[in-house]
Amino acid sequence: MSKRLIEFYGTECVHCKEMEPIIEKVQKELGVKIARLEVWHNSENAKLLQKYDKDAEGNEFCGGIPFFYNEKTGKKICGNTSFEKLKAWAQGK
């Protein structure tokens, strides 16, 4: 499986909905795909979120959504973020 850019989100999550236009803009500008994995109604996605939502000591990093994870770099973003920060994350910076 190739390394993915992932957004973990909840269907009814207001903060996740606020991120949608920023995600779309990053995808369009960089020509990348950010996989959106719903966690409130999908237990497999929720388990994957729990796996990635850890700090260096194995403690919970974010504890909520939206949560962004770059499988290639291991970089994470917790919560809403700016276009510039999401773009840098998608580029592995």
Residue 1 has pLDDT above 60, yes or no: no
| CATH of the domain spanning 5-90 | 3.40.30.10
Q: What is the pLDDT of residue 2?
A: 64
Q: Where are the domains of the chain?
A: 5-90
Task: Summarize pLDDT for 51-65 with one digit per residue, the tens.
Answer: 999 888 888 889 899
CA angle 85, 68, 39 (to 5 degrees): 150
Positive or negative torsion for Cα 59, 45, 80, 15: negative
Residue 76 has pLDDT above 70, yes or no: yes
Q: Per the confidence metrics, is the pTM higher than 0.85?
A: yes
Do 68 and 6 form a contact (C-beta atoms < 8 A)? yes
